[in-house]
């Protein structure tokens, strides 16, 4: 069964070395999203990228880069994402944040209550 839902995709572009207090920033963001019961969050590590400064961050350099680009993706309802933004603002020292509307399609088979039966896919409209 497919259930379309209007939702918002929050994307946060930061560096791997960014911190929030004593913790990696990406970890602090994901834990805060979990604490606020957002639907889910994923951290993606990029092998190469650059930002506003145009400084290239890459894993190809002979030395191991300690500041590879990270993207954190969080999908939830617009009210939940909007409520999360002030928390995110308190954590971010810099970085790029984007929002886009998405359709979420949940696939369920067999026991609808089973966590292993549910998979979520996001698509931009």
Mean pLDDT score of the chain, rounded to an integer? 81
Domain-embedded: residue 90: yes
- Report CA-CA distances (Å) from 38 to 3, 69, 85, 99, 117: 19, 23, 12, 15, 20
Domain count, the chain: 1
Q: Specify if 112 maps to a domain.
A: no
Q: Are 38 and 55 in contact (CB under 8 A)?
A: no
Q: Please, which residues have CB within 8 angstroms of residue 4's CB and are 6 or more apart in sequence? A: 103, 104, 105
pLDDT bracket for residue 4 (50, 70, 90):
low
Lowest mean pLDDT among 4-13, 48-57, 77-86, 99-108: 48-57
Looking at the domain assignment, is residue 43 inside a domain? Answer: yes
Closest to 74 measured CA to CA, from 115, 98, 39: 39
Rounded to an integer, the average pLDDT of 15-43 is 95
CATH number, domain of 14, equals: 3.30.70.120
Evaluate whether residue 114 is within a structural domain. no
Please write the tens of the pLDDT for every residue from 75-123. Answer: 999 999 999 999 999 999 888 999 999 998 875 555 555 444 344 445 5
Note down the domain range covering 30.
9-100
- Residue 58's pLDDT band (boundaries 50, 70, 90)? low
pLDDT of res. 117: 39
| Residue 35: pLDDT band with limits 50, 70, 90 | very high
Give the pTM.
0.77
């Amino acid at each position: 069964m497919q259930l379309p839902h209007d939702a918002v995709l929050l994307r946060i572009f930061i560096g791997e070395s960014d911190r929030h207090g004593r913790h990696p920033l990406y970890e602090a963001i994901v834990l805060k999203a979990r604490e606020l019961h957002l639907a889910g969050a994923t951290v993606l590590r990029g092998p190469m990228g650059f930002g506003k400064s145009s400084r290239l961050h890459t894993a190809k350099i002979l030395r191991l880069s300690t500041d590879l680009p990270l993207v954190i993706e969080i999908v939830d309802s617009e009210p939940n994402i909007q409520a999360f933004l002030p928390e995110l603002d308190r954590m971010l020292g810099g970085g790029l944040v984007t929002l886009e509307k998405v359709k979420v399609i949940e696939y369920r088979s067999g026991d609808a209550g089973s966590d292993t039966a549910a998979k979520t896919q996001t698509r931009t409209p």
